[in-house]
Copies of this chain bind each other. A is one copy, B any other.
Amino acid sequence: MAGTEAPTIYVGKKPIVRYLMAAISILLNEKPEKLRISARGRMISKAVDVAEMLKTRYLPGIVDIDAIKTGTEELQDPNQPGRVNRVSTIEITLRRTGEIGISRR
């Protein structure tokens, strides 16, 4: 249950760079130990891209992937009462493994 209050970025239809910037900004300013990247349905691929790009390209040595959990959400179909739609979800937890900061001079 530790780290339940980790900040979470919900990945949706915006360009991927927005989520990268949001993640970098939170890591720089709030310096949390963990950061979650969350998505549903087709956005799951994009959430994996965000996590992998942070880990390998933009913040190597500073964040690593701590845990990945998938799930299924059941939603009432608004147009067909009684019908349940299912959608897959992912939650990727990043862990800070190095210092990140802006040095002023």
Contacts and interface: CB of A to CB of B under 8 A. Distances in A.
Contacts of A70: 48, 51-52, 65, 68, 92
A56 interface: yes
Contacts of A53: 72, 86
Interface in A36-56: 41-45, 48-49, 51-53, 55-56
Nearest to A43: B45
A85 interface: no
Interface string A70-94: 1110000000000000101010100
Interface of A: 41-45, 48-49, 51-53, 55-57, 65, 68-72, 86, 88, 90, 92
9 contacts: A41-B45, A43-B45, A45-B45, A48-B88, A52-B70, A52-B72, A52-B88, A56-B86, A68-B70
